[in-house]
């Protein structure tokens, strides 16, 4: 746990705790491998090649300035791969739809709630904090997963990229959540696990970086985070109500 006690005073006014979902509350490791494996089996293409190319195109499209849903990002990412490997148009369209559908299937079959998620949510709720979600996931997928894991009842505000048509780190997705919560930025914290979550600081929120050791987070982001923790179990310990 990397928490400077001299910084704890900044948490005194916190009333709202916002969470990212993938990598924070729900374990989504293996998503791109799952999609690539399904495509590879169908098309006879190398899984590692597919994974790398899908991921690269996905990231480029996501940051390209024109908003597309996650389903659309998977669909269009494979169309670009299909062009690279010179698939015929009918096969390309069929497999692109499969890629998008496999991403949804992964969440239904393989996503798991982290063991520290529910105890954290319960402890914060008992202490009187209001909870929210700010996520890049498509709303339909997120809603289904939160209901499946029975955590939807904890959250009063949920904002997804598909609602505001902006992806993190755009500060506007965070600003929309604050608007819905009717709280000042200094009265809120955002718990995220990746570089894009630094956008919460641009919106004036307190940014808590959750580093589970599962992915690489840049040193620049680590240096700008207000706090770095390694488990959600830490959150109820540093957030207390008088």
In tens, the pLDDT along 6-64 reads: 477 889 899 999 999 999 999 999 999 999 999 999 999 999 999 999 999 999 999 98
CA distance 227 to 201: 12
* pLDDT given at position 9: 81
* pLDDT given at position 210: 96
CA distance 152 to 165: 22
* pLDDT given at position 2: 54
Report pLDDT digits (tens) over 135-148: 999 999 999 999 99
Given pLDDT bands bounded at 50, 70 and 90, which one contains residue 242?
low
Q: Which domains does the chain have, with CATH numbers?
A: 5-27+112-238 (3.40.50.1000), 31-109 (1.10.150)
Per the model's pLDDT, the better-predicted residue between 105 and 216 turns out to be 105
Give the global pTM.
0.92
Backbone angles phi, psi at 209, to 5 degrees: -85, 120
List helix spans (H) across the chain. Answer: 31-43, 47-62, 70-84, 89-109, 117-126, 139-148, 161-164, 171-181, 199-202, 219-224, 235-238
Give the mean pLDDT of 208-224: 87
Given pLDDT bands bounded at 50, 70 and 90, which one contains residue 1?
very low
Determine contact, residues 97/71, Cβ cutoff 8 Å. no
CA distance 31 to 28: 6
């Amino acid at each position: 746990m990397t928490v400077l006690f001299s910084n704890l005073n900044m948490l005194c006014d916190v009333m709202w705790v916002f969470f990212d979902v993938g990598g924070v509350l729900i374990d989504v490791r293996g998503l791109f491998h799952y999609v690539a494996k399904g495509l590879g089996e169908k098309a006879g293409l190398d899984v590692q090649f597919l994974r790398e190319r899908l991921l690269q195109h996905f990231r480029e499209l996501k940051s390209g300035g024109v908003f597309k849903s996650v389903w659309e990002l998977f669909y269009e990412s494979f169309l670009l791969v299909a062009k690279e490997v010179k698939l015929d148009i009918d096969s390309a369209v069929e497999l692109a739809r499969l890629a998008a559908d496999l991403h949804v299937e992964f969440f239904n079959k393989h996503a798991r709630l982290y063991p520290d998620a529910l105890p954290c949510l319960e402890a914060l709720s008992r202490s009187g904090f209001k909870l929210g979600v700010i996520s890049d996931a498509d709303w339909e997928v997120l809603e289904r997963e939160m209901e499946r894991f029975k955590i939807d009842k904890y959250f009063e505000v949920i904002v997804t990229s598909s609602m505001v048509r902006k992806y993190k780190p755009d500060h506007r997705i965070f600003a929309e959540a604050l608007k819905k919560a009717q709280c000042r930025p200094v009265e809120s914290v955002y718990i995220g696990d990746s570089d894009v979550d630094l956008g919460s600081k641009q919106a004036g929120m307190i940014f808590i970086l959750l580093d589970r050791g599962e992915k690489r987070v840049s040193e620049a982001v680590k240096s700008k985070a207000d706090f770095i923790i390694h488990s959600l179990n830490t959150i109820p310990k540093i957030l207390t109500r008088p």
